[in-house]
Amino acid sequence: MQHSSSKFLKVLFLFVLSLASFGASAESSKEFGDYVVHYNAFRSDTISPEVAKQYGLARASNRALINIAVLKKVMNTTGKPTAAKVTGHASNLTGQLKKLEFREIHEGNAIYYLADVKISDGEFLKFDLKIVPEGESRAARLKFEKRFFTN
């Protein structure tokens, strides 16, 4: 029991840290029908070495992590974590496409998706994601933008 509690705290720490790194607009989400998609992107060197090691993530100022969580709306709750197929890419201002490979992470009841991408100092990325919740046939399209600084 102690081990699973420790793992949950690490995941909670990763999620809270990633939200905190997003600044004042930490809570980024978008509703799609019966679902809410929470998303953020942040430099990978903001996560702890222990969390990076546990999930095999590279910690570097020139790498960003994209974090996606899909919740099915359930009355009087914060929602039910839902598995989904998440695909997409990022593009910079020169039109260079960067394909994103998302990994599904399960921790207790939580399900989230992580992808990483190499970034340059001052790089402005436009993210274009397609999210298909398990059991659904229609994809939700999520687009957002973020500028990264590596120094």
Helices and strands counted in the chain (H then E): 2, 10
CATH number of the domain residue 126 falls in = 2.60.40.3340
Share of the chain above pLDDT 70, in %: 82
Report the pLDDT value the prediction gives residue 103, as an integer from 0 to 100.
95
Residue pair 83/104 in contact (Cβ under 8 Å)? The answer is yes
Task: Tell me how many domains the chain contains.
Answer: 1
Report the pLDDT value the prediction gives residue 51, as an integer from 0 to 100.
86
Report the pLDDT value the prediction gives residue 27, as an integer from 0 to 100.
60
Report the pLDDT value the prediction gives residue 86, as an integer from 0 to 100.
98
Residue 92, pLDDT > 90, answer yes
Structural domain harbouring 131: 2-147
Range of weakest confidence among 10-24, 38-52, 67-81, 112-126? 10-24
Q: What is the DSSP letter of 139?
A: P
DSSP codes joined into one string, 52-100: HHHHT----TTEEEEEEEEEE--TTSS-EE--EEEEEEEE-TT--EEEE
State the chain's mean pLDDT as an integer: 86
- The one-letter amino acid at 51: V
Mean pLDDT of 13-40: 69
pLDDT in tens, 101-147: 999 999 889 999 999 999 999 999 999 999 999 999 999 999 999 99
Instruction: Say which residue, 67 or 25, is predicted with more confidence.
Output: 67
